[in-house]
Amino acid sequence: MEAVIGLLLMLLGVSHGVETYCDGRINGAQCYGALGGTVVLRLMDSASEIARYVWSNKTRMIQHRKKNTIVHNLIETRSSFTPIDGTFRINNLSMTDGGEYTLKSFDSFGRSSEPQTLQLTFQAPVSSVLLVSECLSQGEMRVSCSSEGGDSPQYSWTLDGHTLTDAQLLSGNKDSNNITLRQDVSGQLVCSVSNNVSRVSKEETVSTCGFIFIDCISNGTHISQWVLEANNTLCIEQTGVSGWTDHTLLILGLRAAVVILIFSGIAVYFACKKKKTDKTAEGSAVPEEMDYENSVVMVEMRSSASEL
Over the stretch 274-286, which tens digit does the pLDDT of each residue have? 777 666 655 555 4
Whole-model pTM: value is 0.64
2-121: CATH, from 3.40.50.10540, 2.60.40.10, 3.40.50.300, 4.10.490.10: 2.60.40.10
- The dihedral built from the CA positions of residue 217, 222, 224 and 229, taken in this order, carries a sign that is negative
Per-residue pLDDT of 125-149, as tens digits, reads 999 999 999 999 888 899 999 999 8
Q: Looking at residue 279, what is its pLDDT?
A: 63
Instruction: Please give the average per-residue pLDDT across 27-53, as a whole number.
Output: 94
β-pair type (61-66, 69-73): antiparallel
Q: Which residues are within 8 A (CB) of 280 and not within 5 positions of it... i.e. 6 or more apart?
A: none
Looking at residue 236, its pLDDT comes to 64
pLDDT in the model for residue 223: 73
Q: Which CATH number fits domain 126-209: 3.40.50.300, 3.40.50.1370, 2.60.40.10, 3.90.180.10?
A: 2.60.40.10
Q: How far apart are CA 120 and CA 99, in angstroms?
A: 5
Parts of the chain belonging to CATH 2.60.40.10: 2-121, 126-209
Q: Please determine, for residue 305, whether its predicted confidence score (pLDDT) is greater than 60.
A: no
